[in-house]
Structure 1
């Protein structure tokens, strides 16, 4: 399960880095903006998919919360 989360986080960071590179890249402004917007849309999509996967995993009991117990 941790492997899936790690891959998703790497994908999110990769899409963010790609958007940054498209922003700094020389070239036509229209194409640069379209590529940057596409990379940011991918980042948002992967982030939403990761959130939903965590939520469903918790609901099905595949993952359990940890940390400081309530009431301490």
Structure 2
């Protein structure tokens, strides 16, 4: 489960980096690639949140809390 969360987090960061690259490269032209990259980042973030909620509910991960 930790590997799945780590992969999702890496995908989120890669999508954000891709959007930054397209934003800096196109300078106000057609920003479809940047918008698509940011939309994918939002989708990956929502998917990661849902995966964490489901994994917690099924008992795959346990909250530890602060001691």
Same fold (TM over 0.5): yes
Superposed CA offset, 1:19-41 (max 9, x none): 000001147701xx110000000
Structure 1, unaligned stretches of length 5 or more? none
Instruction: Mark the structure with the bigger radius of gyration.
Output: 1
Superposition deviation, residue 47 in structure 1:
0.3
Q: So what's the TM-score if we normalise by structure 2?
A: 0.91
Structure 2 unaligned blocks of 5 or more: none
**TM-score with structure 1 setting the length:** 0.85
Q: Over aligned residues, Cα RMSD in angstroms?
A: 1.6
Change (3 A) 1:68 1:28: closer
Stretches (4+) displaced over 2 A: none
